[in-house]
Amino acid sequence: MSLLEVDDIHTYYGNIEALKGVSLEVNEGEIVTLIGSNGAGKSTTLRSISGLTPPRDGAIRFEGRDISLMAPQEIVRLGILQSPEGRHCFQRMSVRENLELGAYLRRDNEVGEDMERVFTLFPRLQERERQKAGTMSGGEQQMLAIGRALMGRPRLLLLDEPSMGIAPILVERIYETIAEINRQGTTILLVEQNANYALGVSNRGYVLETGAVALADVSSSLRENPDVQKAYLGA
């Protein structure tokens, strides 16, 4: 059984059908990438999974259970945590406070331990522990958004465009860290326009075009596919 199974979902904004029957799956332990151009429906797919724009038809199953009509806060409680596009850190709060907020649903005593883990993954966040999030660079805020999601101990981590607006050297570092987070046991579904790094770290990928899956394959094959190279890898 897959950890996450998206089964023929149709998601609308008013009368606009943004997803026209998207199906995909994510197995425990994988990194899966969704690529596609502007408006293809990548963010809408993540937002459908996290309950922000629930599908009108089709089903989303997490560990076999249908979550497609659950409220976002219930979905978060199941361990599906999203680091949203554009980051959305709490600008006037410090790095540490943002991370503490990420642990708000936890009742155990291991929050401090997890904060250490996040600081080990992103040493920059430790250096900036007391800095207000709003004064950090785009790349640093991206690290903080991922760190904050990790503080909730995700069973499935959803990452929306972790490379957006970030200098190439930092993109590489963020992707190395994403691979490390996965090695430590977190299953990841990520969305990217900048497909090169994403396909480099993921096991499998899906290409979305105008609200439907156009292609699905292991990431190494997608990277070698001439159509993918031309459309998404800047070849």
Residues forming contacts to ligand ATP in the complex (CB under 6 A) are 13, 16, 18, 36, 38-44, 193
Contact in structure between 180 and 194 (CB atoms under 8 Å): no
Give the whole-angstrom CA distance, residue 45 versus residue 9: 9
Nearer to ligand ATP, 43 or 68 (CB): 43
Nearer to ligand ATP, 8 or 110 (CB): 8
Nearer to ligand ATP, 98 or 142 (CB): 142
Q: How far is the CB of 38 from ligand ATP (least distance, A)?
A: 4
Nearer to ligand ATP, 94 or 193 (CB): 193
Q: How far is the CB of 41 from ligand ATP (least distance, A)?
A: 4
Nearer to ligand ATP, 12 or 90 (CB): 12
Q: How far is the CB of 8 from ligand ATP (least distance, A)?
A: 17
Q: How far is the CB of 48 from ligand ATP (least distance, A)?
A: 9
Q: How far is the CB of 27 from ligand ATP (least distance, A)?
A: 23
